[in-house]
């Protein structure tokens, strides 16, 4: 996809290859289509293309096809409800239109992402978590799965959260995806916690054959609760998705996190190698974090400037 976004040269990008050679050229805007032809994640296509098209010569429209709610990748609901509002703090906005949802193993989903280029990215400072003010979410079924499955996932998740957080109303909507907006069969849930300072955390889970609905709901709830315990301002899955933007921004960015994931360490390694950004990861020294596994990731961004604007 990135080769096509910039008319670059790419060698060795096939299954079984251990080495690729990529020579980028000028990033161009316009309409681009990328199709995984499987349930491969449209969110991962978006993740890799977004930093590029921000520095294109003109606005971009990305038609991304594959899985929208697939394992081992963010669900599209996470991308829209958590990643989007936070990443837009870097000083750009994008529009994500979910045309069709696609699930494992068939895929067949499509989203259209529209965004305009920027001159530079602003640094971010996400170090004040505030307190949780809202918990909400959606539990979905698509295709042949009965609506009761959505209701059961939602109810089990609510029960699980209530054990730990008693003073907040937990609003999880059960949803039957419309037939014309979903391809194949699937079920899953995403639950989001919002704080007084605008931080967003999520827990999510996807149904699999033979796993009962309650278990799916509880898994998402437990993931959310774990992400609320560490005192960071981002959840474990947002961490690594912000690294590239921090590296490119013009100035010092700081985010407070729970334990630093291997994904994040990998992203930092490559951002330092390729972009020459400088990162410092240190334990948070604030009193309220003393007993917790909380870190500050600080980055001196390279101040990438769009040569086309």
Q: Are residues 101 and 61 in the same domain?
A: yes
Domain for residue 174, yes or no? yes
CA–CA distance, 292 with 309 (Å, rounded to integer): 44
pLDDT in tens, 96-148: 999 999 999 999 999 999 999 999 999 999 999 999 999 999 999 999 999 99
Which of 213, 230, 247 delimits the end of a domain? 230
Residue 96 tokens read as 């994500």
Domain for residue 199, yes or no? yes
How many other C-beta atoms can be found within 10 angstroms of the C-beta atom of residue 1? Answer: 17
pLDDT value for 183: 97
pLDDT in tens, the chain (309 residues): 999 999 999 999 999 999 999 999 999 999 999 999 999 999 999 999 999 999 999 999 999 999 999 999 999 999 999 999 999 999 999 999 999 999 999 999 999 999 999 999 999 999 999 999 999 999 999 999 999 999 999 999 999 999 999 999 999 999 999 999 999 999 999 999 999 999 999 999 999 999 999 999 999 999 999 999 999 999 999 999 999 999 999 999 999 999 999 999 999 999 999 999 999 999 999 988 888 899 999 999 999 999 999
Q: Are residues 110 and 205 in the same domain?
A: no
What is the spatial order of strands in the sheet that 200-206 belongs to? 170-176, 132-142, 186-195, 200-206
CA–CA distance, 216 with 152 (Å, rounded to integer): 9
Q: Are residues 138 and 35 in the same domain?
A: no
pLDDT in tens, 174-185: 999 999 999 999
Q: Are residues 104 and 154 in the same domain?
A: no
- In the three-class reduction of DSSP (H, G, I as helix; E, B as strand; rest coil), residue 15 is classed as coil
Q: Are residues 101 and 12 in the same domain?
A: yes
Q: Are residues 6 and 69 in the same domain?
A: yes
Domain for residue 124, yes or no? no
230 carries an active-site annotation: no
CA atoms within 13 A on the CB side of 85: 13
Which of 200, 230, 260 delimits the end of a domain? 230
Residue numbering of the annotated binding site for ATP:
47, 237-241
Q: How far is CA 212 from CA 102, 207, 300, 302, in A?
A: 21, 8, 46, 48
Catalytic residue among 32, 63, 230, 263: 263
Q: Are residues 224 and 142 in the same domain?
A: yes
Domain for residue 146, yes or no? yes
Q: Are residues 6 and 91 in the same domain?
A: yes
CA–CA distance, 259 with 232 (Å, rounded to integer): 9
CA–CA distance, 276 with 282 (Å, rounded to integer): 19
Say which residues have a Cβ less than 8 Å from residue 220's Cβ, sequence separation at least 6.
137, 153, 157, 189, 190, 191, 203, 204, 205
Domain for residue 307, yes or no? no
pLDDT in tens, 299-308: 999 999 999 9
Structural domains of the chain, count? 3
Q: Are residues 261 and 198 in the same domain?
A: no
Q: Are residues 34 and 16 in the same domain?
A: yes
- Residue 141 · residue 176 · CB < 8 Å: yes
Query: Which residue reads 């305009």 in tokens?
Result: 116
pTM of the model: 0.97
Query: Which residue reads 């259209």 in tokens?
Result: 112
pLDDT value for 273: 97
Domain for residue 22, yes or no? yes
> What phi, psi does 97 have (nearest 5°)?
-105, 110
Residue numbering of the annotated binding site:
47, 237-241
Residue 71's domain comprises 1-115
pLDDT value for 184: 96
CA–CA distance, 131 with 221 (Å, rounded to integer): 18
Domain for residue 103, yes or no? yes
Question: 279: closest CA among 240, 261, 253?
Answer: 253
> What phi, psi does 210 have (nearest 5°)?
85, 0
Domain for residue 125, yes or no? no
Q: Distance between terminal CA atoms of the chain?
A: 23
- CATH number of the domain to which 194 belongs: 3.30.360.20
Q: Are residues 168 and 226 in the same domain?
A: yes
Q: Are residues 2 and 93 in the same domain?
A: yes
Which of 60, 87, 115 delimits the end of a domain? 115
């Amino acid at each position: 996809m990135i080769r096509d976004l910039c008319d670059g040269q790419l060698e060795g990008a096939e299954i079984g290859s251990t080495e690729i050679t990529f020579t980028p050229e000028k990033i161009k805007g316009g309409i681009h289509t990328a199709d995984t032809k499987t349930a491969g994640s449209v969110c991962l296509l978006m993740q890799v293309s977004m930093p590029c098209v921000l520095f294109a010569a003109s606005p971009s429209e990305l038609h991304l096809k594959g899985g929208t709610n697939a394992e081992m990748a963010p669900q599209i609901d996470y991308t829209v409800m958590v990643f989007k509002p936070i990443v837009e703090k870097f000083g750009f906005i994008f529009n994500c239109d979910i045309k069709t949802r696609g699930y494992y193993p068939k895929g067949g989903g499509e989203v259209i992402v529209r965004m305009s280029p920027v001159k530079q990215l602003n640094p971010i400072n996400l170090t004040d978590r505030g307190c949780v003010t809202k918990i909400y979410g959606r539990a979905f079924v698509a295709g042949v799965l009965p609506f009761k499955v959505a209701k059961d996932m939602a109810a089990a998740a609510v029960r699980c959260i209530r054990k730990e957080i008693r003073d907040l109303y937990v609003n999880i909507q059960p949803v039957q995806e419309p037939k014309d907006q979903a391809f194949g069969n699937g079920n899953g849930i995403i639950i989001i916690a919002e704080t007084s300072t605008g931080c967003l955390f999520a827990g999510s889970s996807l149904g699999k054959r033979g796993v009962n609905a309650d278990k799916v709901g509880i898994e998402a709830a437990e993931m959310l609760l774990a992400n609320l315990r560490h005192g960071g301002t981002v959840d474990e899955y947002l961490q690594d998705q912000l690294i590239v933007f921090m590296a490119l921004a013009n100035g010092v960015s700081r985010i407070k996190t729970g334990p630093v994931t291997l994904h994040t360490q990998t992203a930092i390694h490559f951002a330092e190698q390729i972009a020459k950004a400088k990162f410092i990861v240190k334990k948070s020294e604030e009193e309220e974090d003393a007993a917790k596994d909380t870190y500050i990731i600080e980055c001196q961004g390279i101040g990438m400037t769009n040569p086309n604007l």
